[in-house]
Structure 1
Amino acid sequence: MSSKPAKLSAADYDALSETERKEYDAARAKAEAEEQAALPYRWRQTLTDVDVDIPLPPKTRGRDLAVTFTRTTISAALKSNPSEPLLSGTFPAPIKTDSSTWLLEGGELQLHLEKVNTQEWWKHVVTSAPEIDTTKIQPENSKLSDLDGETRGMVEKMMFDQQQKQMGKPTSDEQKKMEMMKKFQEAHPEMDFSQAKFS
């Protein structure tokens, strides 16, 4: 199993050459994929929910399972073996317990968890599990189209700004400031803007 390179600070990452960044990103992505593949479950998420699939022993029935979750914790185990839970721990953020569910389907325990905060990606299902790099998440376009106009606009802006930062380019807000400054300069050529800062 490849060891995951230590997470760099934004400044250290920016100091890398483009080739070094690609190598660093690839090494972290490979190690992350191995960490996730080693988990006893598979999971995926959107901004609004998290789905977890846990393989079960053959012939397991719903009555054989003990599944409980609160706003911040989960415990799923076979009643015959409660000391070795299938999944147990603390969520990275609260869930809506009234709209979160579980069911037995195709030999798997399937958990559907509704997030309270629908503006953040989870780094893991439970805080004891290895983290994923949420800055590398690319939401499916079809999922983006499911969002209402305001939320979709916000997500697209967040994605654009994240990509701009990674390339060392100005974010959408910084671009707007620069546009306004440019227009103001054109309207007032007699003023000296050489010392102006765009922070």
Structure 2
Amino acid sequence: MSAEEEQFDSVLLALATKHRGGVPDFLHTLASFLRRKTDFYTGANPAEWEKLLLDVFRKESKLALADHEAAQRIKQEKERIEFEARQKEMNESKICDITDEEAAAIIKEEQDKKRPNVPDTTASAGGDSSSREDISKPIEKVEDETEKSELGKLLPNAGNGCTLDKYMWTQTLQEVELKIHFDVISSLKARDIVVNIGKKTLKVGLKGQEPIIDGELCGEVKQEESVWVLQDSKTVIITLEKINKMNWWSRLVTTDPEISTRKINPEPSKLSDLDGETRSMVEKMMFDQRQKEMGLPTSDDRKKQDILEKFKQQHPEMDFSKCKFN
């Protein structure tokens, strides 16, 4: 899709959203404009302008169908690859249905074979004690009175998330990535790990042991688009696809301490990767959110004020001193 095609998208989208009747109403407005403001219908015979319209819509229809078919092929190929990968992992791991107690017994037996002492299976965000230096710290001082409410909240880490004792997470506007490192002596396999991703819940841990995470997520996620992998046989990485892509999460689960979303740096969130329309919408939303928090006018309020001021300048003979505007 060329930049030339997209140059009027924001204008047309704003216009389309004002039509409650959807596409039919939107097309009716365009046709009405051509009737009232141009000689589109009268400047040529009906066969000519009808052919012009059909040619344009048929061309766009072919492009839309081609894009849809390509997207379907990519989706099917992705699903095939993922299915084959799961089948391969199951075959290699020889996964079978066992209880949590049986799984815990198997893990303990394998660990006991390698050394006499039972290994420490507590989890940490970085895998060693030095990572405690990277744990997110609370905000103890603010320079602006409007930020007093942020005192006590944690500063976001470099990935706009939070680093805690047992795990760390980062986020963009589209997704959340969670990383948990297990301090175990022997290598873990997928069958040793419990990962349950719900629409609004998450449970992660080792089978037969107290879960590291078991609670309600800060926001809803797309279960079918959320995945997890076992990295280096000791680290679980979970990617959660957000449903609401306009909000930052202030915590991973509701029992976590809250981070200050006002301190988030949008640069790592890859705003530059968004299309122009979505990026403009997100930047406007973030600006309006900060303005509201500081008790200042939003972008829409400013626009209304500008229109009113221009109207006053164009009509100096009118007295607005006793008028009240909402």
The TM-score normalised by the length of structure 1 is: 0.77
Q: Distance in 2 between matches of 1:33 and 1:135?
A: 9
**Residue 112 of structure 1: how far off its partner (Å):** 0.2
Larger helix share, 1 or 2: 2
Query: In the alignment, what sits opposite 2:211?
Result: 85
SS at match of 1:104: strand
Conservation of the 8 A alpha-carbon contact between 2:156 and 2:263: no
CA 1:197–1:155 in structure 2 vs 1: closer, same or farther (change >3 Å)?
Answer: farther
Query: RMSD of aligned C-alpha atoms?
Result: 2.9
In structure 2, the residue matched to 1:160 is: 287
How much has 1:111 moved relative to structure 2?
A: 0.6
Aligned pairs for 1:50-89 (under 5 A) are 50-58=176-184, 59-81=187-209, 84-89=210-215
Deviation at 1:154, TM superposition (A): 0.8
Counterpart residue type for residue 97 of structure 1: Q
3-state DSSP of counterpart to 1:92: coil
In the TM superposition, residue 61 of structure 1 has moved relative to its aligned partner by 2.7
Does 2:181 match 1:49? no
CA distance, structure 2, for counterparts of residue 158 and residue 138 of structure 1: 15
1:114 aligned residue (241, 265, 272): 241
Q: Is the 8 A contact 2:291 2:298 kept in 1?
A: yes
Partner of 2:113: none
Distance 1:71 1:27, change over 3 A: closer
CA 1:142 to 1:120, structure 2 compared with 1: closer, same or farther past 3 Å? closer
CA offsets, 1:138-166, max 9 Å, x none? 31167111112221111111222234445
| Partner SS for 2:305 | helix
| Aligned residue pairs, count | 182
2:321 matched residue in structure 1 = 194
Same amino acid, percent of matched pairs: 43
CA distance in 1, matches of 2:290, 2:223: 34
Structure 2 counterparts to residues 7-18 of structure 1, below 5 A? none
Give the SS at the match of 1:145: helix
Distance, in Å, in 2 between the alignment partners of 1:198 and 1:39 is: 53
Aligned AA (1:78): L
The one-letter amino acid of 2:199's match is: R
Counterpart for residue 145 of structure 2: 21
Specify the structure having the higher radius of gyration (Cα).
Answer: 2
**Which range is displaced more, 160-169 or 50-59?**
160-169
Q: TM-score, normalised by structure 2?
A: 0.49
Gaps of 5+ in 2: 1-136
**Residue 121 of structure 1 contacts residue 134 of structure 1 at CA under 8 Å; is this kept in 2?**
yes
